[in-house]
Structure 1
Amino acid sequence: MTARTCLSIVLAAGLGTRMKSDMPKVLHQIGGLPMVGHVLKALEEAGSERVSVITGPDMPNLESLVHELMPTAHCHVQAERLGTAHATLAAKSDLQDAADDVVVIFGDTPLVTSGTISKVRGQLAEGADLVVLGFETPEPLGYGRLLIDDGRLVAIREERDASEEERKTTFCNSGIMGFSGAHALALMESVGNKNAKNEFYLTDAVEIANQRGLKVVAVAGSEVETQGINTRAQLASCEEDFQNRMRLAALENGCTLLAPHTVFFSHDTILETGVTVEQNVVFAPGVKVASGATIRAFSHLEGADVGSGSVVGPYARLRPGAVLGAKTKVGNFVEVKNATFGEGAKANHLSYIGDATIGSGSNIGAGTITCNYDGYLKHRTEIGEGCFVGSNSTLVAPVQLNAGAFVSAGSVITDDVPGDAMAFGRSRQIVKEGKAAQLRSRLQSEKDAKSR
């Protein structure tokens, strides 16, 4: 397989009309990544070194995303939406540059895997000229049927055109096709538009290829994996299938999910073996959790790296740039943003740690805040190893606590603290004996006077 060249054509010109969206359909997200991004990733993993994406007019945001995710991809505009064969020919200039395999795939099939794409390419490598990916379903209503005769795919029959007997067929068309590069362009150009909508349907290539004596076959895939998305309801259903796939992968990788259906993953979430995840945890994009770590209930992580043996939560929030070393603790109602915790550092409760470095073994008391923003610019707080910051302290950045420094509870720290020094940044307590009794007596008298 690796010796064969491959051009993949991604059909992504669809509007979000049925989704009631102004955004191109394939930009809607599954697992925190636009649908087309999932498809591009699968194609790359399947060894497609060339990719052409067919967009619609005025879709610069889609083109920008494609070039961001896959800089080598080519975008081609389908000026008029005249069917799938018409769409593929928008990439005619790329088709003229020969490839062994040509894969045509929809941009709204985000659950398709590289293994399935490789399965299609495998049939081309074994001598097929045209390969159609199908799936079995107990409810084929609305799908085009794959008609097989003696192991040969003879036609794809749409529901409205199928006979009563053909409608009994449960092997249906996914829309994903593979062409031998030697015949791809000629077959696509031969597709006509003699149908009710006067559109050019790529599925007609099956009968054309058979008429030319070419080898046409179908391979079976998964209905879940090849599902397309046209509505918000289908988007939600696909998201659920994606989450179930990720949950199963985590469990099979040796992670513990105490309530799997309450844990939500992103497309790039990495949980190493031995991670424990409690209930109602959300992994937004960009999260990696090392082995032996525990993510406790109701925590939200995004763009964060959690070290081995660390404990996060419950009710913790890790924002982008949070890096926790081994055996750290970030507890309930602690928010961490763009901050690094050294090994064994702790912020157990009720704190905001932003734009900071926390040295190994340091302890951040409850209610501590790093004041990182002055209204115009962000500034860093540097806390060395073995420091102790007392509860309800405010660290006004830029400020540095050197190794072993101690900050007394309730302090406002605006200047650097030397190593092993103790800093007090608060007013000295004053005690006035009997003052409370005098105050109560006066206030009670005033209250009584108003009630007369």
Structure 2
Amino acid sequence: MKAIIYAAGCGTRLQSDSPKILLEFGGQTLLEWHALRLREAGVREVVLVTGYLREQIAELLPGICARYDVAVREIVNPRFHEGSLLSLRVSLPEIEDSSEPLLLMDADVLYPTGMLDRLIGSAHGTALLLDREFSTDDDDPMLVPVKKGRPIDFRKQWSGDAEFVGESIGFFKIAPADFPLLIKETHARSGGSSCADSYDDVLRTLVLAGRFGYEEVTGLPWIEIDFPSDLVHAQKQLVPAIIGCA
């Protein structure tokens, strides 16, 4: 299985002079955490979409590949400042050339290997991970309402009839049967003002079309690194918790 990690963004809310994926937690960069967890989950082929300060990442890649026995290839999104949809756009050749399910992953998540195990092992060909325990007090989580056992929407603000609502982790398994819709929707949004869309808008199209199942990861330790407070929380609480359950 191949994983595509999207790491091109600037991370403006952190105001860091390094890409988010090079932030360190427990003595390892986030990129190293990804490499280790993917290897433990049996994923040895990784495509990394970069943009902001990509030279820093490229300098470290050979050593990380050798250290963790994972093949990581870089794809550059030169228009990274225009929106994450264009990162999905530059990765389309990797999707088009694949005959097996793919993992699409946000780069700024710290997590245990068990999350990948649940996603890869899901009986659903196309699946996402969700956590029922979330807060909207200081963040804008991507919400996933579930009804009759299926995700029915995928957006940051949602109200309506659902059995429950969870937060998306930012990791997705896409089956080859759903590649054409993903590719078509990405191309349709890649011109004009739509190119500023998030690639979440493309994924929402698949959710609304009923393509996604889900796996629940409520109770597993994880965090999306968005704010300075997330760095502190990750270092003090999440790293020990993740090491404890990995």
TM-score by length of 1: 0.47
Task: Give the Cα–Cα distance (whole angstroms) in 2 for the partners of residues 209 and 171 of structure 1.
Answer: 14
- 1:233 and 2:218 correspond: no
User: Residues 103, 85 of structure 1: CA spacing in aligned structure 2 closer, same or farther, 3 A cutoff?
Assistant: farther
Q: State percent identity of aligned pairs.
A: 17
User: Residues 236, 23 of structure 1: CA spacing in aligned structure 2 closer, same or farther, 3 A cutoff?
Assistant: same
8 Å CA contact 1:103–1:178 kept in 2: the answer is: yes
Q: Over aligned residues, Cα RMSD in angstroms?
A: 3.0
Residue in structure 1 matched with residue 176 of structure 2 by the alignment: 181
What does residue range 10-409 of structure 1 map to in structure 2 within 5 Å? 10-70=5-65, 72-81=71-80, 82-110=82-110, 112-123=111-122, 126=123, 128-141=124-137, 142-159=140-157, 162-163=158-159, 165=160, 170-184=165-179, 186-191=181-186, 192-193=188-189, 198-208=196-206, 210-211=208-209, 215-222=211-218, 225-245=221-241, 248=244
User: Residues 197, 88 of structure 1: CA spacing in aligned structure 2 closer, same or farther, 3 A cutoff?
Assistant: closer
8 Å CA contact 1:55–1:75 kept in 2: the answer is: yes
Kindly indicate which of the two structures has a greater share of residues assigned to helix: 2
Task: Give the Cα–Cα distance (whole angstroms) in 2 for the partners of residues 76 and 11 of structure 1.
Answer: 10
User: Residues 246, 146 of structure 1: CA spacing in aligned structure 2 closer, same or farther, 3 A cutoff?
Assistant: closer
User: Residues 151, 183 of structure 1: CA spacing in aligned structure 2 closer, same or farther, 3 A cutoff?
Assistant: same
5+ residue gaps, structure 1, are 1-5, 250-266, 268-452
Following superposition, the deviation at residue 119 of structure 1 comes to 0.9
Task: Give the Cα–Cα distance (whole angstroms) in 2 for the partners of residues 210 and 198 of structure 1.
Answer: 21
**CA deviation vs aligned residue, 1:199-244 (integer Å, no higher than 9, x gap):** 1433533433653xx6421111147633111222211111112343
Task: Give the Cα–Cα distance (whole angstroms) in 1 for the partners of residues 119 and 10 of structure 2.
Answer: 28
Task: Give the Cα–Cα distance (whole angstroms) in 2 for the partners of residues 201 and 106 of structure 1.
Answer: 10
Kindly indicate which of the two structures has a greater share of residues assigned to strand: 1
The one-letter code matched in structure 1 to 2:120 is R
The worse-fitting range, judged by mean Cα deviation, of 75-84 and 214-223 is 214-223
Following superposition, the deviation at residue 99 of structure 1 comes to 4.0
User: Residues 73, 196 of structure 1: CA spacing in aligned structure 2 closer, same or farther, 3 A cutoff?
Assistant: closer
Following superposition, the deviation at residue 195 of structure 1 comes to 8.6
Task: Give the Cα–Cα distance (whole angstroms) in 2 for the partners of residues 177 and 90 of structure 1.
Answer: 18
Following superposition, the deviation at residue 152 of structure 1 comes to 1.4
Following superposition, the deviation at residue 186 of structure 1 comes to 4.0
Task: Give the Cα–Cα distance (whole angstroms) in 2 for the partners of residues 98 and 15 of structure 1.
Answer: 29
Following superposition, the deviation at residue 101 of structure 1 comes to 1.8
SS in 2 for 1:19: coil
Following superposition, the deviation at residue 34 of structure 1 comes to 0.8
Following superposition, the deviation at residue 169 of structure 1 comes to 5.0
Task: Give the Cα–Cα distance (whole angstroms) in 1 for the partners of residues 228 and 177 of structure 2.
Answer: 39
Match of 1:8 among 3, 6, 9: 3
Task: Give the Cα–Cα distance (whole angstroms) in 1 for the partners of residues 155 and 162 of structure 2.
Answer: 9
Task: Give the Cα–Cα distance (whole angstroms) in 2 for the partners of residues 207 and 240 of structure 1.
Answer: 37
**CA deviation vs aligned residue, 1:17-74 (integer Å, no higher than 9, x gap):** 3222211121110001111210121111111121100110541111222332125211
Task: Give the Cα–Cα distance (whole angstroms) in 1 for the partners of residues 162 and 135 of structure 2.
Answer: 11
Task: Choose 1 or 2 for highest CA Rg.
Answer: 1
**CA deviation vs aligned residue, 1:336-370 (integer Å, no higher than 9, x gap):** xxxxxxxxxxxxxxxxxxxxxxxxxxxxxxxxxxx
SS in 1 for 2:154: strand
SS in 2 for 1:8: strand
TM-score by length of 2: 0.82
The worse-fitting range, judged by mean Cα deviation, of 31-40 and 96-105 is 96-105
8 Å CA contact 2:129–2:215 kept in 1: the answer is: yes
5+ residue gaps, structure 2, are none
8 Å CA contact 1:19–1:232 kept in 2: the answer is: yes
Task: Give the Cα–Cα distance (whole angstroms) in 2 for the partners of residues 170 and 231 of structure 1.
Answer: 23
Task: Give the Cα–Cα distance (whole angstroms) in 2 for the partners of residues 153 and 246 of structure 1.
Answer: 27
The one-letter code matched in structure 2 to 1:118 is D
